[in-house]
Structure 1
């Protein structure tokens, strides 16, 4: 399996260990629009608790590790730390646990919880922005995971726009807007350069495989893989689904006849490694005639590169290089 590029993502913009030169102790209120609602922060948060690797790395990219009380990541995400360009930041911030809950954030003295729906927030566990508000703890929701008003479907804007929105909002909240804008500009330049790699070449159909044996878990048009695939020069076979991460049927995968399979390096309980996932896909009889299987066109990206995070631009670049061959 070709993993070299995927496991060695190269960042072309400075992101690690940033020194924040702007005023992070200001007490004047700042209002940002988050998931369609105006949210006001009376002061710069100083004890932030994050959930998920991508969310923590948004803080790291902005040089805000010293504003964090700690992070929570699940056991399936620990492999992300080995591929992270923010290793020193991970080392400098406390891990609070593998499951976020009220006790964890209260114990850390959190003055802000940064998470998202299905990225920590969940009605089933009672850990929601409203529940934290009752405890006097402010929240910021990951824009990729915003509910879009259709049941529990998520995603209110294109994935990269969600990334830029969060960077800019966090820049305002923490008074590091200059840093945020530099990151956005650098990412946009990196992506424009990557897009040129597939100019004039046929666009392969791509299936994002996260997990699932009976039914595959994949990405609709509102999750990060949508823009990673399309900006790299491919077409997401489930790009017409108005949702972020979602479950589909195998028959629709077979009918779509993908040319390439993009595998999420995430331990999901069924198949814990990319090699196990590829072995399952190659041995699943209904997929036997699919071009991606017959030609062994697999590519692997870390989980933290496939959710909204600072790794998205580098993921586009590495996948584009793979597709360009």
Structure 2
């Protein structure tokens, strides 16, 4: 009888052990399933960006991006995203020197905008345009067309708004950093750019009237200049006053007579395209009307590359060039 009771005790202990093991297996399985699928966590990893009248939802960072203009190419490279890029396009001039090594790792697809076929052949999943023309019918295609191909798009907002500021560029940088899941790099880049600008501003003369500045793109019969585009911000931060900053447009055309009346003290010559800086300055010196301005008579010209004048990572460099040209004694 004693042996019989012992056997039942052994069997009971064994059954309890089996049940406990089953319970543990179910708990572990449940935990594994929760780790594999957590709706709250999945929702948190989604990134939603409102851009260019579209809503772009990212469930993962793009892996095959193409940048369509130089200043946005330089933003991606400054964020260390060259390994996530399958192509670049449309240089205005030489790439920013600190980014040249990274740039050389990315294929150049076209001198201007690539074709839709080139984009498809590259298996692109993200296109980043610096100008609205990139997503026009003459560019790569509209965001709606590209979405049907499974390609996300981002239009650089600071290049597509009136009178953009440095903060608008920082918003674009934050958006791209968020899309590519490199937020810390984005904030570090913004801190660096902000500090560089503050260091320049600290050297500017205090209590002086701002210099009258003409931004000269080109001109023959009339003058093509900057109204309320990013050049207006750059000139202002560098301690000057854009004489056509009251014109509510980006690049604009004004008369020579109006230019002479506003009488610039300094002329910023934008360097790009087939017309050289020397040719532009010779035109200013020999034009019967424009040669009478203070800037031309005193030969006060500042040369600025178009790539530095765009809404990108070279903003501090552009402000440095302008400030040195405006106030050489302070630098």
Q: Could you say which TM-score interval applies, normalised by the shorter chain?
A: 0.7 to 0.9
- Structure 2 residue corresponding to 1:164, chosen from 148, 170, 173: 170
1:29 aligns with: 46
- Structure 1 residue corresponding to 2:215, chosen from 198, 202, 208: 208
1:140 aligns with: 154
TM-score, normalised with respect to structure 1: 0.80
Preserved CA contact (<8 Å) 1:52 1:119: no
2:81 aligns with: 64
Task: Give the unaligned 5+ runs of structure 2.
Answer: 1-43
Residue-by-residue CA offset, 1:111-139 (whole Å, 9 max, x unaligned): 11100434523345573323322333210
Preserved CA contact (<8 Å) 1:144 1:244: no
2:37 aligns with: none
1:44 Cα deviation from its structure 2 partner: 0.5
- Structure 1 residue corresponding to 2:191, chosen from 152, 166, 185: 185
1:192 Cα deviation from its structure 2 partner: 1.7
Residue-by-residue CA offset, 1:237-284 (whole Å, 9 max, x unaligned): 2212333333333333222211111111101x4x1x211111112122
Task: Give the unaligned 5+ runs of structure 1.
Answer: 1-26, 147-154
Preserved CA contact (<8 Å) 1:145 1:244: no
| Change over 3 Å in CA distance of 1:134–1:36 after alignment to 2 | closer
| Change over 3 Å in CA distance of 1:116–1:91 after alignment to 2 | closer
Once residues 316 and 30 of structure 1 are traced to their aligned partners in structure 2, the CA distance between those partners, rounded to angstroms, is: 33
What secondary structure sits across from 2:320 in the alignment? Answer: helix
Larger Rg: 2
1:107 aligns with: 121
What secondary structure sits across from 2:289 in the alignment? Answer: helix
1:257 aligns with: 263
TM-score, normalised with respect to structure 2: 0.79
| 2:327 is the counterpart of 1:313 | no
Preserved CA contact (<8 Å) 2:71 2:130: no
What secondary structure sits across from 1:80 in the alignment? Answer: coil
2:111 aligns with: 98
What secondary structure sits across from 2:249 in the alignment? Answer: coil
Report 1 or 2 for greater relative contact order, CA contacts < 8 Å, sequence distance ≥ 6.
1
Once residues 262 and 205 of structure 1 are traced to their aligned partners in structure 2, the CA distance between those partners, rounded to angstroms, is: 11
Once the two structures are overlaid, the 10-residue window that deviates more, 113-122 or 309-318, is: 113-122
Q: Kindly report the root-mean-square deviation, in angstroms, between the aligned alpha carbons of the 2 structures.
A: 2.2
1:93 Cα deviation from its structure 2 partner: 0.8
Residue-by-residue CA offset, 1:221-252 (whole Å, 9 max, x unaligned): 2x321121000000112212333333333333
